[in-house]
Chains A and B, each alone.
Chain A
Amino acid sequence: MTTQQPPAAVEPRPAPPPARRDRRSWTGWGFLGPFVAVFALVFLAPIAYSIYLSLFRDQLIGGNTFVGLDNYTQALQDDRFWDSLARVSLFLVVQVPIMLGIALLIALALDSGRLYGTDFFRITIFLPYAVPAVVATLMWGFMYGTRYGLVGDINDAFGVTLPEPLSPDLVLASIGNIVTWEFVGYNMLIFYSALRVIPHSLYEAAEIDGAGQFRVITAIKLPAIRGALVIATIFSIIGSFQLFNEPNILRQLARNAITTDYTPNFYTYSLSFNGQQQNYSATVAIIMGLITMVIAYIVQLRGMRKGA
């Protein structure tokens, strides 16, 4: 699954002044403390350990040596790393707009009140979100089969030859389809709930001005849910950069098309689990984390500023 992560760097905007400024005390830590303690254990400590690991090189022959920043130099010149980054970037540029576009269209359709059975649509389209990535990929993997799968059935029934979804040229699109299937409903729901809380008064004003449907959408609805759009985009960026489960599971069916360095996250996984190159794997992960943070931050900055 695309690991949708918490909003990078999107804080709730200047929330109404929390309590009173003068009550600045340590009481808050009493409540926040437990979270921070566990967070430090399961996130910060492994990251810190990874940074430590990234400064060493452990060989099967020769053992462990301190190498300073050598791993970083190596990673920056590593074609396998850059190729995988280019691949997820392509994925990001194509899949994310399609997924979010569809999600937005459905959300607008549901919100328009012009559908029969709105509730049924909303909940059903959301359901794939509850399907584990393992199961989702298994199902799609079956349907992609040109021999016994749905694609094969279509070929037989209509006497056509559809392109193979798992061939090297198409497999990225096929992964994109699985991810879209899993998360389109989820993003739709994000947009939909944002649309639902647009104040009624705005629509009344538009009605008086005689604005049409389309104008209402562009002038009122979209600006009003800008925040939701930005956050969904940021999640999707992080999700794309961390793409792993779908290619990993699909690889059982398309070993030649999906290489062990297919995405940056897959690459770190292979380095660590097939190659026992823990140190180098940690290095790549840290670089990838930095790149993700920077891009998420830029998107947030631009998205929030524009016309806000």
Chain B
Amino acid sequence: MRRKTSRLLRGIALLSALALGATACGGSDDEGSDQKPVSASDLQAALKKGGTVTVWAWEPTLKSVAADFEKKYPKVKINLVSERSGDKHYTALSNAIEAKKGVPDVAQVEYFALGQYALTKGLTDLAPFGAEKLKDKYTPGPWNAVTQGSDAVWGLPMDSGPMAMFYNKKVFDKNKIAVPTTWDEYVEAARKLHKADPKSFIAADAGDAGFTTSMLWQAGSRPYKVDGTKVKIDFSDAGAKKFTDTWQPLIDEKLLAPITGWTDDWYKGLGDGTIATLVTGAWMPANFVTGVANASGDWRVAPMPAWTKGDKATAENGGSSLTVPELAKNKELAYAFAKYANAEDGVQTRIKQGAFPATTAELQSQEFQNTKFEYFGGQQANKIFAESAANVADDWSYLPFQQYANSIFNDTVGKAYVSSTKLADGLKAWQDASVKYGNEQGFTVEK
């Protein structure tokens, strides 16, 4: 064996040497992104000339937007690649950027993940294309997210997720429970409900990074402070305490169904009364219609419970933008498409198919607000959503490596859901792991 091993090693050494030669060129070269201003007439000229725009986005409504766009600009072909979402989408995008090959012209990026791509110069600043003039079209939350508090514009907001509380009216009525308006009432309702029907739970929560950060957001906690490469992570402020003090009893008393979101069980639970409320973004109705069809008419929408009676502050959950990667081949056309989809005719097309807009005009239009949702028993749910959108608490920011932080949420905070670990300790562990990663990645992290 010794002989074999040494030969093996020699072989590997030789190959490594070869690979070194072959791959040394793979290092990252510095790209100075000095985008020259692009005028409206430049854009028109590009649209006339035509070309192909590759779009990576899972937003289903973009399909018809792309078709309309091609009709309007016959020389432009939209190649919509739409099969992946979430982590798989970002993996593919990061891989393509790293390989400097196969990068799309337009990529859908959720607000929480924008920071990372912006910081590592993976995206084109759209301000020189005239994007900063669109500021007033959008509600402040999404606009804040795409600008990352700077002058640059890293993407155009596609939708938004002002939060509201969806609740199963049938379950509430049957057990004679009032719809909670504050989180304290919510906890009380949880106890009452589970006592009345041990198979029913106020909510399903098995630990979800997006939900938890949104709750902190509404509670006034600002755990992440970002200033370029200087980052502060702190889950011990008063807002975070407010959240853990309320949520810990729900976990301790087993009042939350331990069902992971978006699974088969979860859809079933939403349909059969196991899960009585769902506090989430305004984009949810379309999912109710397709995923929980059998409970049509049972559900209603109410404002998100408040931390103190009468407080209107809400938060955002989810929502994404269309961005133009730095390595996109056809930036003018890419921007033209993003603008069409998110600031022009595309917005209406998308709303008609159930998307929730990020544009002020649409949110405030009578037509939009008066839409009756058959699924919610004819309720004009958009009024509640629009109200929520106007009251999203400001100054929230995500980490420039939120994607990684979210990926380890269940490793750390998740413990609080399945063991004797306390939620506050879980958050502390999450903080420590995020700080460690930030330091490893060259950020200056303050606790």
List, in ascending order, chain A residues with CB within 8 A of B23's CB: 49, 52
On chain A, which size bracket covers the interface?
A: 35 or more
Asked if B418 and A275 sit within 8 Å, CB to CB, the answer is: no
Bound together, the chains give a CA A252 to CA B15 distance in angstroms of 39
Query: Are the CB atoms of B415 and A51 closer together than 8 Å?
Result: no
Contact residues in A for B150 (Cβ distance below 8 Å):
none
B11 nearest in chain A by CB position: A44
Bound-state CA distance A261–B433 (Å) is 13
Given contacts A259-B411, A260-B411, A275-B437, contact A48 B18 (CB under 8 A): yes
Given contacts A48-B12, A64-B27, contact A253 B418 (CB under 8 A): no
Nearest B residue to A9 by beta-carbon distance? B1
In the assembled complex, the Cα of A49 lies from the Cα of B16 at a distance in Å of 7
Most chain A CB within 10 A, of B116, B259, B263, B441, is at B441
Q: Is the CB of A270 within 8 A of B19?
A: no
Quick check: is A193 within 8 A (CB to CB) of the other chain?
Answer: no
| A-side contacts of B442, CB under 8 Å | 59-62
Complex interface bits, A43-85 against B, C-beta within 8 A gives 1, otherwise 0:
0110111011000001111111000000000000000000000
Q: How far is the CA of A260 from the CA of B87 in the complex (A)?
A: 13
Decide if A276 is an interface residue (CB 8 Å cutoff): yes
B87: A residues at CB distance < 8 A: 273-274
Q: Is B175 an interface residue (CB 8 A)?
A: no
Closest to B406 in A: A274
Whether A257 sits at the interface, judged by CB under 8 Å, is: yes
Which secondary structure dominates where chain A touches chain B?
A: loop
Residues of chain A within 8 A of B229, CB atoms compared: 61
Question: Does chain A have a CB within 8 A of B173?
Answer: no
Closest to A300 in B: B1
Residues of B within 8 A of A62 (CB): 442
Taking a contact as CB atoms under 8 Å apart, the answer to whether A45 and B408 are in contact is no
Q: Mark A34-47, 1 if CB is under 8 A from B, else 0.
A: 00000010001101
Task: Say whether A47 contacts B411, CB under 8 Å.
Answer: no
Minimal Cβ-Cβ distance residue in B for A45: B19
B404 / chain A contacts, CB cutoff of 8 Å? 274-276
**A60 x B400 contact (CB < 8 A):** yes
Q: Mark B154-190, 1 if CB is under 8 A from A, else 0.
A: 0000000000000000000000000000000000000
Q: Report the Cα distance A257→B411, complex, angstroms.
A: 8
Binary flags per residue of A234-277, CB closer than 8 Å to B gives 1, else 0: 00000000000000000011111101110000000010011111
Cα–Cα, bound, A61→B121 (Å): 11
* Residue with the greatest number of chain A CB neighbours at <10 A, chosen from B20, B91, B259, B265: B265
- Measured in the bound complex, the distance between the Cα atoms of B16 and A89 in whole Å is 30
Is B346's beta carbon under 8 Å from chain A?
A: no
Identify the interface centre among B87, B274, B414: most chain A CB within 10 Å of its CB. B414
A40 near B15: Cβ-Cβ < 8 Å: yes
Is A297 part of the binding interface, using a Cβ–Cβ cutoff of 8 Å? yes
In the complex, what distance in Å separates the CA atom of A63 from the CA atom of B30? 10
Decide if A142 is an interface residue (CB 8 Å cutoff).
yes
Which of B22, B120, B274 touches A147 (beta carbons < 8 Å)? Answer: B274
Interface residues in B, total, Cβ within 8 A: 48
Smallest beta-carbon distance B383→chain A, Å: 35
CB-defined contacts of A253 to chain B, threshold 8 Å = 260, 263, 265
Q: In the bound complex, what is the Cα–Cα distance between A11 and B404 (angstroms)?
A: 43
Interface string of B79-114 (1 = CB under 8 A from A): 000000001000100100000000000000000000
B19–A52 CB distance below 8 A:
yes
Q: Does B220 contact A (CB under 8 A)?
A: no
Once bound together, how far apart are the Cα atoms of A257 and B417, in whole Å? Answer: 10
Among A252, A274, A275, the residue within 8 A (CB) of B260 is: A252
> Bound state CA distance, A253 and B229, in angstroms?
35
Selected contact of B259 from candidates A40, A63, A147, CB within 8 Å? A147
B407 touches A270 (CB 8 A): yes
Interface centre among A9, A60, A167, by most chain B C-beta atoms within 10 angstroms, is A60
A48 to B19, alpha carbons, bound, how many Å? 6
- Are B28's CB and A52's CB within 8 A? no
Closest residue of B by beta carbon distance from A274: B407
Interchain CA distance A297-B8 in the complex, whole Å: 14
A277 to B260, CA, bound (A): 28
B206 touches A255 (CB 8 A): yes
Answer yes or no: B288 CB below 8 A from chain A CBs: no
On whether A49 and B260 interact (CB within 8 A), knowing A60-B442, A61-B442, A145-B265, the answer reads no
Residue B290 interfacial (CB < 8 Å)? no
In the assembled complex, the CB of A139 is this many whole angstroms from the nearest CB of chain B, namely 12
The distance from the CB of A276 to the nearest CB of chain B, in whole angstroms, is: 6
Q: Are A167 and B418 in contact (CB under 8 A)?
A: yes
A256 touches B207 (CB 8 A): yes
CB < 8 Å: which of A45, A64, A148, A256 contacts B418?
A: A256
Return chain B residues, CB-CB under 8 Å to A148.
Answer: 264-265, 268
Q: Once the chains bind, are A64 and B16 in contact (CB under 8 Å)?
A: no
CB within 8 Å of A: which B370-409 residues: 400-401, 403-404, 407-408
Residues of A within 8 A of B403 (CB): 274
30 contacts between A and B (CB under 8 A): A44-B15, A47-B15, A48-B12, A48-B16, A48-B18, A48-B19, A51-B12, A59-B442, A60-B116, A61-B119, A61-B443, A62-B442, A64-B28, A145-B265, A147-B269, A167-B418, A168-B419, A253-B263, A254-B260, A255-B260, A255-B414, A256-B415, A256-B418, A259-B411, A260-B410, A260-B411, A274-B408, A275-B407, A276-B94, A276-B404
Which residues of A pack against B, CB within 8 Å? 9, 40, 44-45, 47-49, 51-52, 58-64, 142, 145, 147-148, 167-168, 252-257, 259-261, 270, 273-277, 297
Starting from the known contacts A52-B19, A52-B23, A257-B418, 5 additional A-B residue pairs (CB-CB under 8 Å) come to A52-B16, A60-B119, A147-B265, A256-B417, A297-B1
